[in-house]
Chains A and B, each alone.
Chain A
Amino acid sequence: NAGVTQTPKFQVLKTGQSMTLQCAQDMNHNSMYWYRQDPGMGLRLIYYSASEGTTDKGEVPNGYNVSRLNKREFSLRLESAAPSQTSVYFCASNEGWNTEAFFGQGTRLTVV
């Protein structure tokens, strides 16, 4: 059982480049999330999808877009990367509001 799978694990971008972070879960969960983790800031929610076909902004959505492609997949796109987007990105999923979330291994993104 793979759980939550994120690709790629590492990425270096130049300022202004675009890229898409992929996330897939095999647990048939309804809800999926994208967080970023920065030193001293904890985890901050970028976007979430409560169910297939819906997406909502989190705490720090600027500079990002998301697509809930189907129930399994939730991608995060950076249209024009900036150094401030250097971070570790985590995808997570859960079944419902009172259930624990399962996290991927993270994507370490550096924008130079």
Chain B
Amino acid sequence: AQSVAQPEDQVNVAEGNPLTVKCTYSVSGNPYLFWYVQYPNRGLQFLLKYITGDNLVKGSYGFEAEFNKSQTSFHLKKPSALVSDSALYFCAVRAHSGNTPLVFGKGTRLSVIA
């Protein structure tokens, strides 16, 4: 069975500092990996995805994520955090093979402090 772990419920970072939101996954075979962001009282919005190819993936709003197969991780990063980045972030995974849907982590709340 596939699963996602987001080990931190909450991440606090000062504005202008780099941020990292951690994600590890478990899946049979190769993964499709996704990051989504949720602002208050809104649905989830897609940030970026890893399908294949370069391990460093760039996405919306200056976010990027690095796929590390040996560590089964897909951490979300941004060089300089903004207060407006404060939101709930979800990592999700799906196996390449089989008729399996997307599985989400429990989410990490990011607070960027001015």
Contact = CB atoms under 8 A, between A and B. Distances in A.
Q: Place the interface of chain B in its size category.
A: 20 to 34
B43 A100 contact: no
B77 interface: no
A111 B103 CA distance: 26
A44 B104 CA distance: 7
Interface in B25-49: 32, 34, 36, 41-46, 49
Contacts, number: 58
A100 B49 contact: yes
Contacts of A90: 43-44
Interface stretch (A13-21, A68-76, A101-109): A101-109
Give the dominant DSSP class at B's interface: loop
Q: Place the interface of chain A in its size category.
A: 20 to 34
B94 interface: yes
A101 B102 contact: yes
B94 A97 contact: yes
A107 B99 CA distance: 27
Contacts of B96: 97-98
A80 to B, nearest CB: 26
Q: Which of A42, A48, A50 has the most CB of B within 10 A?
A: A42
A41 B106 contact: yes
A43 interface: yes
A13 B101 CA distance: 29
B42 A105 contact: yes
A104 to B, nearest CB: 5
Interface of B: 6, 9, 32, 34, 36, 41-46, 49, 51, 90, 94, 96, 99-107
6 contacts: A41-B106, A100-B49, A101-B34, A103-B36, A106-B41, A106-B42
Given A4-B43, A40-B9, A50-B101, 15 more contacts: A33-B101, A33-B102, A40-B106, A42-B6, A42-B90, A42-B106, A42-B107, A56-B101, A97-B32, A98-B32, A98-B51, A101-B44, A103-B36, A104-B43, A106-B43
